[in-house]
Chain A
Amino acid sequence: MAGVPIGRRNLFSERRRTFLGIAGVGVALLMVLALDGIFAGAMREVSRYIDASGADLFVSQRGVRTMHMSSSSIPFAAVERIRMLPGVRWADPILYDSGAVTASEERALTYLIGYAPGRRGGPAPLVAGEEPGPGEIVLDELAAGTLGVGVGGRVETLGRSWRVSGLTTGMTNIVNSVSYVPFDDFAAARGLDGVASYVLVGSDVSTGVMVRRIESATGLTAQTRAGFSAEEGRRVKDMSTELMQIMTFAAFVIGLAVIGLTLYAAILSRQREIGVMKALGARPGRLGRIVLSQAAWTVGAALAVAVLLALGLGWVLGRAAATLPLVVEASSVVRVAVAAAVLGALGALSPLIRVSRVDPATVFRR
C-alpha cells in the first residue's frame, strides 16, 4: 500500500478548476481524435469500390498503383492474355475516370466506372432499379438525393444524357461518389477503342503466385485487392498529411496551454503547502511525483472524456451525415494517448520548476 495520494487529493479538491482543465484538454484531444476519425472514415470510403469489387487482384498499366489521381490504359490483347493464364478464374476489364454528374442546377463529383453489365466491377449492392442498359447509369442513392433524381430520372455526364436505371448504397464519401455506366457507352463517349483502364481478376491460386504470373506474362502491374486498396488510401492520405499535421499541432498546442495553466494554477494556489511539505521533509522526487500524478490524472481523465465524446460524435455523425463517417480506431486512441502523455509531461515542466524553487522556510513567514 502506498502513501497518501496527495497529488490526486490536491487536484480534485479544486473541483471546478480541475474539471475545466480536464474539459479543456479533453476538447483538444477530441479535436485530434475527431480529425483522425474523420480521416479514417474517409479512408475507408475512398477505397470502398475496390474493397467491394469481389476481385482478388487489380491489374493496371505498368507502374500505376492507384485509381485516385491516376490514368491507366491496358490493351484488350493483354486482357485476353490474362484470361488465358492458368489459375485465372475470370478477368473483367473496366474503364475509369473521375468527373461530375449534373442534373438541373445540381452537381455531384463522381468516379465513373464503365463495366460490362452482368460481369464483375459493377454496382453492388443495388438498392433500387437494375443494372444499366445502353444509355443508362447507376448512381449512389446519396448522390442521387443531392441531384434530386431517382430511378427513371435523367442526368448528364461524359458529355451526354443518361437515364438513371438503379441506385447503390454506401458509395458516397465526403469527396465524391461512384457511378456506373455500360463499358461500351463509356468507351464511345470517351472515344476509346480496344483499351481498358484496369482489369479485375478472380484467381484460383494464391494471389502472390498470380501477381507474379500476370506481371511476367504481360508486363503490367498486378496487385492484390488489399494492396491496391492500401495504396489508394496512402495516396489520398499523402495529399492530406500536411493539413492534418497543422490541425493536429494546433490542437496539441491548445491542449498544452490548457494543461500547463491548470497545473501551474494548482501549484501556485498551494505554494505555501508545498513549502510546508518541504519543511516536513518532502524530497524533490516526492514533490515531482505529486505534480506528475496531477498531470497524469488530468490527461488520463481528459483522454477518457475525449474518447467517449469521439465515439458519441461518431454515432451521431453516422446517423446525421452518412457522407462524413467518424471512425475511432484503436491505433488512433493509442497515438492520442501517447500525445497526451507527452502533453502532460511538458505541461508539468513549468510547475515542477516552480515547486523546486519554493523555500521551505516560507512556512515561518506570515
Chain B
Amino acid sequence: MDEFAIRAERLEKVFGEGVIQVRAVRGVDLEVRPGEVVLIMGPSGSGKTTLLSMLGAMLRPTSGRIAIDGVDLAALPESRLPEFRSRRFGFVFQDFNLLSALSAVENVEFALNLAGVTGRRARDRAKRLLLGFGLGERLSFRPEKLSGGEKQRVAIARALVNEPAVILADEPTANLDSKIGHEIARLLRRAATEEGRSVVIVSHDTRLKDIADRVLWLEDGEFRSMTEMATDPVCGMAVEREGSSHFAHEGQTFFFCSAQCRDEFAAKPDRFAERVAAPA
C-alpha cells in the first residue's frame, strides 16, 4: 500500500495546439498523506481547476502520473473511472451542486447508490450521517429550502458517505458567511483528523490556512514557494512579493495586488495592518 493517498508526478495538461496551445498545468508534483489537509491557492486561471479535475479522475493528464490510494489512474480504463470516483473520492463544490429534485437525505443516499449500496441500508446510513451533522430536521427538505450552510453540510455528508480516501473541495466556503465557513472548514479538518481522509482544498479563502497542514501556491500551472508569497492586507488576495507594490509601516513591509490597494492601505494603515497575521 502506498503511504500517500495521492501521489501526482510531473503532471502536465496542455489544451489546444499551435498558437492557441495553453499549458494549464506544468510539471506539478504533489503527495498527500492520509489525514492531511492541503490547501491550494492561486490566482484565477492558474490551473487550480484543471489540477483538481485531473486529481479527481475527470480529466486525463497530457503527461505525468497520478496514483490514488496506490491505484494508477492511467491504468484504469475509461469505463471503470465512474466506479472508481464513486468509491475513492468525495467532492465538495462552491455551488454545493446538490441535485435539486432530491431531498437532503436522497442526495446523500444517491451517492451510496452509485457505490452499489441501495435500499434501506443506504437510506439508514444517509440518515445517520445527516443526523450527525445536525440536519435531522431537514432530511426531507429539498435543496431550495435549505440555507447555504445546510446545503454545504449535506454536500460534505454526500462526500463522506462512501468513506472515500480523498476529499476534493473546490472553494467550499466561498458562498458562505464567516461563521458557517468556519464550521465547514472544521468539518473538513475533522474528516482528515478523525477519519484519516486526505483533503485537498482549492480556494481563495485565506481563513482555510488555519485548518491546512500545508498551503501550496499554484500560479501559471506551477507550484511556487509560499515563502515568496504575502497576503494583501486590503483585499486578502495572496500576492507574490517580488515585483508587487509594497508599503512600509511601523517597521514592517506590506505587499499589495495593485496600486489601489496600496493607496487605500497608506491612507489608513492601522485599519488594515492587523489583518495580516505575520507580515515579513
Seen from chain A, the residues whose Cβ lies within 8 Å of a Cβ on chain B are 1-4, 6, 9-10, 12-13, 270, 272-273, 276-284, 286, 359-361, 363-366
**24 CB < 8 A contacts A-B:** A1-B119, A3-B122, A4-B109, A4-B113, A6-B99, A6-B101, A6-B102, A9-B101, A9-B106, A273-B100, A276-B93, A276-B99, A277-B110, A278-B58, A279-B56, A280-B111, A280-B114, A280-B158, A281-B86, A282-B86, A283-B82, A283-B83, A363-B97, A364-B52
Interface residues of B in 41-73 (CB under 8 A from A): 49, 52-53, 56, 58-59
B interface: dominant SS: helix
Return chain A residues, CB-CB under 8 Å to B109: 3-4
- Are B93's CB and A364's CB within 8 A? yes
Instruction: List, in ascending order, chain A residues with CB within 8 A of B85's CB.
Output: 279-281, 360
The CA of A272 and the CA of B143, in the complex, are separated in Å by 15
**Which residues 89-107 of B sit at the A interface, judged by CB distance below 8 A?**
89, 91, 93-95, 97, 99-102, 106
Of the candidates A3, A13, A278, the one whose C-beta lies within 8 Å of that of B110 is A3
A2, B123: Cα distance in complex, Å: 11
CA distance A1 to B56 in the complex (A): 30
Within the assembled complex, what's the spacing in Å between the Cα atoms of A2 and B112?
A: 12
Residues of A within 8 A of B56 (CB): 279, 361
Q: State which size class the interface on B falls in.
A: 35 or more
Chain A residues positioned under 8 Å from B131 (CB to CB):
none
- Give the residue name and chain of the A residue nearest to B53 (CB): A361
Q: Which 8 A-B pairs have the closest CB atoms?
A: A281-B86, A1-B119, A3-B113, A13-B101, A9-B101, A361-B53, A281-B85, A361-B58
In contact, A281 and B97 (Cβ under 8 angstroms)? no
A282 to chain B, nearest CB (A): 6
Which residues of B166-204 have CB atoms within 8 Å of chain A's CB atoms? 170
A-B CB pair tally, cutoff 8 Å: 88
Tell me, in angstroms, the Cα distance from A361 to B48 when the chains sit together.
12
A280 touches B91 (CB 8 A): yes
Q: Name B83's closest neighbour in chain A (CB-CB).
A: A281
Instruction: Report chain B residues within 8 Å CB of A281.
Output: 82-87, 89, 111, 114-115
A361 to B91, CA, bound (A): 12
Which residues of B are found within 8 Å of A359, using beta-carbon distances? 58
Task: Assess the B58–A279 pair: CB atoms within 8 A.
Answer: yes
Which of A1, A4, A272, A364 interacts with B102 by CB under 8 Å? A4
Check if B114 sits within 8 Å of A361, measured CB to CB.
no
Query: With the chains together, A277 CA to B114 CA distance in Å?
Result: 9
B86 near A280 (CB under 8 angstroms)? yes
A202 and B110 CA atoms in complex are apart in Å by: 71
A363 CA / B114 CA spacing, docked (Å): 17
User: A6-B101, A280-B91, A283-B79 given. 8 additional CB < 8 A pairs?
Assistant: A1-B120, A4-B110, A13-B101, A276-B93, A279-B58, A279-B91, A281-B115, A360-B58
Tell yes or no: B118 within 8 A of A by CB. Answer: yes
Q: Tell me, in angstroms, the Cα distance from A273 to B95 when the chains sit together.
A: 11
Q: Which chain A positions have C-beta within 8 A of B86?
A: 280-282
Give the contacting residue for B119; candidates A2, A6, A278, A283; CB below 8 A: A2
Verify B99–A277 contact, CB threshold 8 A.
yes
* CB closest residue in chain B, given A12: B101
A366 to B120, CA, bound (A): 35
Q: Which residues of A contact B100 (CB under 8 A)?
A: 13, 270, 273
What's the Cα separation between A363 and B89 when bound, in Å? Answer: 14
